[in-house]
Amino acid sequence: MQDSFVYQMLPTRVVFGRGTSATLPFEADRLGLRRLLVLSTPDQAMLAEQVEQLLGGRAAGAFNGATMHTPIDVTERALEVVKAGRIDGIVAAGGGSTTGLGKAIALRTDLPQIVLPTTYAGSEMTPILGETQGDRKTTQRNSKIQPEVVIYDVDLTLSLPPAMSALSAFNAMAHAVEALYAPDTNPIVTMMAEDGVRAIVDSLPRVLKEPDGPEARASLLYGAWLCACCLGATSMGLHHKLCHTLGGLFDLPHAKTHAIVLPYALAYNAPMVPEVMARLRRAMAADDAVGALLDLGRDCGIPLALCDIGMPYEGIAVAVKQALRNPYDNPRPVEAAALATLLTRAWAGSGI
Ligand code: NAD
């Protein structure tokens, strides 16, 4: 038990369950919103139409141009729609990309946001926004970014393809794992992280077997929500910094990079955090938390090696150099030789 800590409650209202999208008009009225703009990706334009229908006369338009990495030019186009439509609130229906666009608009306008998440990425529970301009990515925290209402509707996740579900769930677990050993962790975050990992490890294999089974989907979404709360409440360590470095250097896919690196980053830190490892073993009902993550990734058909997703072997040395450039809090000091070993194993997918 920690004997001193700081815990900041996040102000988001959460509605969770099956069919909860139906509460959207009520939630909009609670916030006093009359002219809402619905955001989605081009792939989810149909979902945006359904959301507009749900909103009825409160819907004042849709913008279906959300895309990965929240490019600022897309945000600027959406802002023109906001201005022209005299929009007084945002409904983001989709994954982290759509949520990111809603957050970028809120940062610039302070408009209230209602989010209907359809993946397990967890952006909806954080005051964090990553934006890109050209190939430059900047990340910031700001209370304006935190959505006012999140409506988790299990039914909206049933269509997420199994492979994407697995990657997104690993992404969520990475938040909980790093929150457990974060310098600003606390007993509430610790409870959420342990229960989040437990729910995901238990439900993910069932979701992959029966992707439209609502019970396992509900448990997976619940776990992802808890993990997202952990991300919003703490600072991330080696795993997140390394994934950010690798993604930026070699243009690697975000979710796959997270899924591959997580067991290796955890193994790196494991000797310094025995209590965290005990919690993770309990959450995963396994004798070896790192081994359990590697096995789960294999069972879910997740790519197991960075070499399989486009990282060149020569990139290992480049990544080590870059990762050492900006120091940050991590349970185990980040040292060149040990980091090179970690990356060589993750590159080859050779296990620990
Ligand atoms: P995404 O939002 O990019 O979605 C990927 C694709 O899946 C899109 O084409 C989308 O239309 C489709 N899709 C989403 N839900 C679906 C569903 N239920 N059924 C069918 N198709 C569906 O992917 P993501 O992994 O949710 O989000 C990734 C982005 O979120 C990254 O840019 C990442 O940096 C960001 N992110 C931000 C935070 C934060 O706190 N700021 C946290 C996590 C992730």
Same domain, 130 and 190: no
Supply the pTM of this predicted model: 0.96
Residue 1 has pLDDT above 80, yes or no: no
The pLDDT score that the predictor gives to residue 135 is: 73
Same domain, 104 and 143: yes
Please report the atom of ligand 1 found closest to the CA of residue 159. Answer: 19
Same domain, 143 and 244: no
Distance CA(349)–CA(70), nearest Å, equals: 30
Cβ 271 vs Cβ 332: under 8 Å: yes
Q: Is 41 in the pocket of ligand 1 (CB under 6 A)?
A: yes
| 3 belongs to a structural domain | no
First-to-last CA distance in the chain?
Answer: 30
The pLDDT score that the predictor gives to residue 123 is: 96
Range of the domain at 21: 13-157
Please report the atom of ligand 1 found closest to the CA of residue 98. Answer: 2
Residue 166 has pLDDT above 90, yes or no: yes
| 7 belongs to a structural domain | no
> What average pLDDT does the segment 245-252 reach?
91
Ligand 1 pocket test: pick from 40, 123, 157, 241 the residue with the most ligand atoms within 8 Å of its Cβ.
123
Same domain, 312 and 169: yes
Same domain, 197 and 143: no
Q: Is 121 in the pocket of ligand 1 (CB under 6 A)?
A: yes
Residue 2 has pLDDT above 90, yes or no: no
Please report the atom of ligand 1 found closest to the CA of residue 139. Answer: 41
| 1 belongs to a structural domain | no
Same domain, 111 and 221: no
Same domain, 53 and 139: yes
- CATH code, domain carrying 324: 1.20.1090.10
The pLDDT score that the predictor gives to residue 304 is: 92
Distance CA(69)–CA(331), nearest Å, equals: 29
Same domain, 202 and 89: no
Q: φ and ψ at 120, to 5 degrees?
A: -110, 15
Same domain, 190 and 270: yes
Condensed to tens digits (0 to 9), the pLDDT of residues 55-90 reads 999 999 999 999 998 999 999 999 999 999 999 999
